[in-house]
Amino acid sequence: MDELNKRIEEYISYCEELFKSANPFAGVFGFSGGPKEDKGHREFYDDVGIMTDRVLNEGEPEEISQMAEALLFSASSTEKDNPAYWMIRAINGHALKLIPELAPERKNELLKRFSATFPKNERLPIEQQLFKALKK
């Protein structure tokens, strides 16, 4: 999980710098450009997917469980006004690959915490899928 946490911290710093140095008019009126279209966002998402696949294919059950938990709750320690928040929240979707590998009692434990962290009326579509996967 150290690798994941390090990558999240790097991404937060990257976004803060990117948005701080951005032209305030970039991307307005539907024109392209601006920090929201930067390729670094996709690279971050893909990097986390690669890490997730590595843990799924090479990790022990405990490591898979820890990675699932880290992905599911990675955004809970990031402020909503942070420019990295929504992408960090989106990476929780990578946990869908890991959930089938979890023991039923671990799924139940994560489901309870997930329900408390992401109330139904605030869930993104991917989070609704995660909820259903944890419930199985």
Q: What are the pLDDT digits (tens) for 16-47?
A: 888 776 555 554 444 455 555 678 889 999 99
CA distance 27 to 36: 8
Residue 117 lies in a domain: no
Does 62 reside within a domain?
yes
- In a domain, residue 48? The reply is yes
Report the distance separating Cα 9 and Cα 73, nearest Å: 14
What's the pLDDT at 29? Answer: 44
Is residue 27, in this structure, part of any structural domain at all? no
Q: State the average pLDDT for the chain.
A: 88
Owner of token pair 């139940």: 108
CA–CA separation, 109 vs 113, rounded Å? 7
| 131 in a structural domain | no
In a domain, 136, yes or no: no
Average pLDDT over residues 84-88: 90
Q: Record the pTM.
A: 0.84
pLDDT, mean of residues 5-18: 91
Quote the pLDDT of residue 38. 73
The answer to whether position 113 is within a domain reads no
Question: Which pLDDT band holds residue 91 (cuts at 50, 70, 90)?
Answer: very high
Query: Per the structure, how many domains does the chain have?
Result: 1
pLDDT at 20: 75
**Segments forming the whole domain that contains residue 60:** 2-21+35-103
12 within a domain of the structure (yes/no): yes
